[in-house]
Structure formats: C-alpha cells, structure tokens
Amino acid sequence: MTLRSNLPPGSPRWATRRAQWHALGLGEEDLVKPKIAIVNSSSGLAPCFSHLDPIAAAVKESVRAAGGVAFEVRTVAPTDFIMAAGGGGGYVLSSRDLLAADVEAVVEGAQLDGMVCLASCDKTTPGQLMAAARLDVPAVVVPCGYQSSGVLDDGERVDIEDVFLRAGRLRFGGITFEGLCDLSDRAITGPGVCTGMGTANSMHIVAEALGMTVPGAAPVRANSEPMWRAVRASGEAIVAAVLAGRTPRSILTRAAFGNAVMAVLAVSGSINTVKHLQAIAREAGTDVDVYALFERYADTIRPLAAVRPNGEDTIEDFEDAGGALAVLAQLGGVLDAGAVTVTGESMGERLARAAAAGVVRDERVIRPLSDPKAAHPTVVVVRGSLAPGSAIVKLSAAEDRAMTFEGTARVFGDAPSSIAAVEGGLVRPGDVLVLRGLGPVGTPGMGMASQTVFALDGAGLTGQVAVVTDGQLSGLVNKGVVVGEVQPEGALPGPLGVVADGDRIAIDLHERRVDLLVEDAELARRQAGRAPHHVPGGESGWLPVYARSVEPLARGATLRGNDLPATRA
C-alpha cells in the first residue's frame, strides 16, 4: 500500500529525511516500512510515568518485529497531585490539550503512519485519544498499569487517595502530623497510576470500551505479565491497522461512545470521564452528546462493580475477576456489538471470544447485569435553574448519603477562602457551600474543588453541608452531596455567577435537579449589573492562551479551531 511517510524518491525532503534516518541506523529497506510513533509521556516527576521508558523500548521492538519502524516521541506529562500546585490547578486539565498538540506536531509534521500511545495518568489517555481522533491516523492505546499500595502497622490498606482525604482532617485533629507522614510514606510502593477506580483507571477502561486497545488491556498491575503481554501485542496491532487503513474515526463512532458510557456506569467510574469522552467525540468529528448519553443510560445501567472507594473491592480484585473485558461481557446484549475495534474484529466478536475463554472469573466482584451492586446510577447528570447547562454528581455503589438537600448559600470565589471559612467555623450545618471561579475559563484550566470537600469532611460536616461548584473533583473520593462542573461556569453569564450569600438552593438527586430558589426577575437584575469576566488579552504564557481558546465543558473543554465536519454517525 502507499504510505504517507514515503516521500517521492529523489526529492529534497526524501533526501534529507533519508540522511537523518540513516544517521539513526536505519537501512534502505526501513525507509519504505510503516513508520510508527511511540507516544511516551515519560517523566521523572511522578511514579505514574516513571516506568514508561522500558515500555517504550519494548513497544519499539514489537513494532520492528511486526515489520514497522518505530520512533519514540515525548509529550508533556500532566499529573494532578504534582502539577496542581501552580496556576490555581489550571495546568492539569489544560495540559491534556497541550499533550494532544504535542502529538499532532510530531505525527502530522513528520507524516508518520500510525502511533502507539502509552497511557498512564489521568490526562494522558484522553489527550492521546483526542490526538488520534483529530489526526485520524491508526492508533493503539496501551494502558501502562496501576501502582501497588501499602499497608499500615494494623494491616489497613493505604493509598494516595487516603493521603489526599485524610490531610483534610489534620487541622481538626482527625490525624496527627506524624500519622499523616506515615500514610504518605506507605501509600505508594511501585510505579503506575493511582489505585482505585479514579480517573486514570476509568480512562484506561474507556479506551478498551471504545475499541482502541488490544483485548484485555485494562486495568493491569504496572510491570505485570498482563501489561507486558499487551505491550508485545501492540506492535503487531498497529502495523496491521496501518496496512488495513483502520483509522480512529472508523472506530470512534456513536456506537463506540455508547459502549464507553455504559462501561463507565457499570464500573462506577470517574465523573471526569464525561468531559474527556465529550472532548474525544469532538475531535473525532462526531455530533455525539456524551452528557445526553450518560443521562440516557443512567436509567438502565447500574454498577456491576464497586472498586474502592465505591465499595470494598480493590482494583486487584477487579483485575483478577476479569477487568474491563469481563464488564463488557457482562453488559452483553445492551452493548452495540457492531462497533469496530482497532484489531479489526467487532466488539461482539471480541466479547464472544472472551466469554468462551471464561473471562468473567468472579461474579461476586463483577456482577451480571441482572444482579447489580446497587439500584441507582453512580454518575448522575443533573440540571435545573442553577445548572441549566448541566452538572455532575458522583455516587458510590454503597451509597448512604441523602439524595435531597436544601440549604442557604455561602459563596466563595476560590478554594483557599472556602477552606479557611470551613476551618474557621464560618460554614455551618444547613449551608450550601458555593465555590465558583474554578471552571475552564475562570481559573483558567479548571481548579480542584476536592480540597474544600475534604475540609468539610475533616470538620465533621459531611452530609450536613452540600457543595455546588464549577470546579473539578477528584475522580476517586467525594464525600456528601457534591454537585460539580456546573455549566455555565461562574465566569460566564449564567446563574452560578450571580448566586448571593443567603440564597436558597435545592438539590434533588432522585429528580436529577439543582435549583436556585430565586425569582427570575431578581436574577435578571443581578445579571444586568454584573461586570463581564476578564479574559487575559496580551499576557504571555500557556494559561492565557488556553483561556482565550477554551470551549465550555459541554464541548469537552476543547480548544477553538477544531470544528471538524461530522463524518461518523
């Protein structure tokens, strides 16, 4: 077949490219082989990425064995726990789009034929899938595994989210400084992404449900044999996809997004998957409304698994029970079996083969569709007069919190001031803590609201105080009634930006509503007197550029300029 990387022999670009690659040790026969980018977000900044270099080397070898030529390329490596310290936390989500641009610049600039993406922390998987959808060159995602966690002297398991949550209790005496340091010392005992069903593991499962991985790729223990098996299979898969002309837009169809949404609901996945899936759909040029899909399937799909902190099972239990492939098999007839996968088989064919091999190894951990872990959905899209666009609530499978709440608004424009108010006793039972200015434009890049939620937990106010915010929440731990990612965000025209102290707010998760109990005329008066949000103009740096370009969450918080024609239904 004709490969786009094969430039006209004798042309100046062919000659100079030949010279460059000859210097790297490539021979004449290599110049006509499929040329594959190994997209590596390796970084020494966090354990999420610290093990990726040997994986990249193994993928390169597997590509060579399959008849291709591999080139390792690097990207930004966003990590919430490290990079949220600066820019109000805005560098984390915005780096997802920076990563997609990193991939585009190299793969499109060099006119490479395909790519294998090493998926690790929260934003690398969606960023890589966004790039694959945008460029529409064959791509395979390789989930690179989750980290091992430790135990305390009393045998209690401890992981990074325990550290994050319990740090909020320090101010109130719920843990000592020495105890917190002990947790921190023991929480992570190996490389890979956070344990538990957080955003990273959820997005690895999403990649498999979309059909963009080899079968059985997620979740896996980092550096385990199942991970290395997927790594070895990736080289053959990408070369075959290139030779077959099997591109992401033939895979990322409406059917695939429906399957992915059902998988998220079935595993009680992270709420952050909603905006990431919407962003991938936008880059794929589809007209899929992912928020509407979550609303639709929340009526019928219940949690089939309950991995910590949604339940008692560990991510190891979940993997050993069959992982993502077992969940998809249990969903069975409700999935779209005709969806295409990167290996060329349909999702139905893949699942039939998996079922015949006994992929569901423990139905206590991964339940059948007829016997779910809970009777309610775990990712709930809510709307109402306070969130006319939408908002999202995460519930656990073992839900015991109140499903309704009405209280008095206490409004804050940033996380530190809200935490100070909680710690100072200024937030009281019956309040609805409104935290705004953390959206994609307001921060810019989305600020993290979880610290405020954890401060409430430390103060013993979980369940007694509700939270409404336009900020981002942890993909793992949320406590109490927390309404996140409110649209329109507070920085844009809309009700969230004009909520005042003392307003009444009503939340009803049964009805999937969040309402501001203020007369329309009063809201109109407030809007008319409101000064417009200042969007950075001539300032240099990445975040001002992002603020001027970012679209609302309803469009995945993607950047303007990617309005591609809808090519797949």
Q: 483: closest CA among 376, 568, 401, 368?
A: 401
Non-local (6+) Cβ contacts of 195 within 8 A are 146, 147, 148, 149, 159, 160, 161, 201, 308, 314, 315
Are 498 and 400 in contact, with CB atoms under 8 Å apart?
no
| Strands 35-40, 114-119: pairing kind | parallel
- Whether omega for the bond prior to residue 429 falls within 30 degrees of 0, making it cis, is no
* Residues identified as active-site: 474
DSSP conformation letters of 338-376: T-B-TTSSBHHHHHHHHHHTT----TTTS--TTS-S-SS
* Alpha helix stretches (DSSP H) within 431-541: 450-458, 520-528
Q: Rounded to a whole number, what is the distance in angstroms from the first to the last CA of the chain? A: 28
Are 137 and 107 in contact, with CB atoms under 8 Å apart?
yes
Give CA–CA dist 421/21, Å, rounded. Answer: 60
* Phi, psi dihedral angles at 134 (to 5 degrees): -65, -45
Q: What is the DSSP letter of 148?
A: -
The amino acid occupying position 103 is: V
Rg (CA), the chain: 24
Helix (H) or strand (E) holding 329, with range, is helix 323-331
- The answer for 155, left when phi > 0, alpha when psi is -120 to 50, beta otherwise, is left
| C-alpha to C-alpha distances, 248 to 124, 200, 351, 424, nearest whole angstrom | 17, 21, 20, 52
Helix (H) or strand (E) holding 406, with range, is strand 404-412
* Token pair recorded at residue 180: 């917190």
